[in-house]
Amino acid sequence: MEWITNPEIWIALLTLTALEIVLGIDNIIFISILSSKLPMAQRERARVVGLGLAMFMRIALLLSISWVIGLTEPLFTILDQEISGRDLILIGGGLFLIGKATWEIHEKLEGTAGHTSARVAPSFASVIGQILLLDIVFSLDSVITAVGMADHVEVMIAAVVIAVLVMLISSRAISNFVEQHPTIKILALSFLVLIGMSLFAEGFDQHIPKGYIYFAMAFSVLVELLNLRLRSRQMPPVELRSGYVTEPSPHSSVTPASPTSAG
């Protein structure tokens, strides 16, 4: 119980918890966008299961630190660039994130409208599978960061648990806000492209400071919040296309414009 009176451990816990929360923002965005494809009754469960899987994935990796550290050992070399197991995971995850986000942007803006589409929305299992795939990538990045910042596994696990609890509490509000505002949703998908590119570059040892990425994200969200405030009393926002046959969104209040109202 000596850790209770050790200020260094408390500082490490607070710092690591704050960092885990920041690193978890992209996880929440991804989970929110994927869970929005499900019927309303299943969305909350998908968010809870997704974040729960993220927590258990991080804890499992922390308890296998020797294996995680071994992932940084070079496996082969391409054009004088050493590639490790961690690099392969980051490269693959980055490409998946870029491709998935680009596909989602296309579906939201140029896809077939839900009421005219014969496509069926993805199942709960398929959504959880996609969340799990990206949880692996985000967890690996998070755990390697944690290992470099703290010396005690117990502190790392405590920081992960606290961070996930904070994300669980805030995930519904974030998801609802993203779902209600189309521009925020497109911005969130753009952030995933940015994060994917960061992971891809990291896989080739091209480190991009995360502070720059999160500053760009925060600044663009701030600009859009100002836009929303200035235009709050004007016409309601456009409705993004779902591309699936799903139940209508509870926030949907936009009706199609008549031909005479165009222009």
122 and 37 in contact (C-beta within 8 Å)?
Answer: yes
| pTM for the full predicted model | 0.69
pLDDT of residue 257: 46
Query: In angstroms, what CA-CA distances link 256 with 36, 108, 182, 238, 239?
Result: 22, 17, 16, 10, 10
End-to-end, the C-alpha distance of the chain in Å comes to 71
pLDDT over 60 (residue 117): no
Condensed to tens digits (0 to 9), the pLDDT of residues 48-77 reads: 888 888 888 888 888 776 677 677 788 888
Condensed to tens digits (0 to 9), the pLDDT of residues 155-182 reads: 788 888 888 888 888 888 888 887 778 8
Domain boundaries, the chain: 2-73+82-245
Q: Is 176 helix (H, G, I), strand (E, B) or coil?
A: helix
Stronger pLDDT, 122 or 247, i.e. the higher one? 122
The span from the CA of 140 to the CA of 121, in Å, is 30
Helix axes 85-110, 124-149, angle to 10 degrees: 140
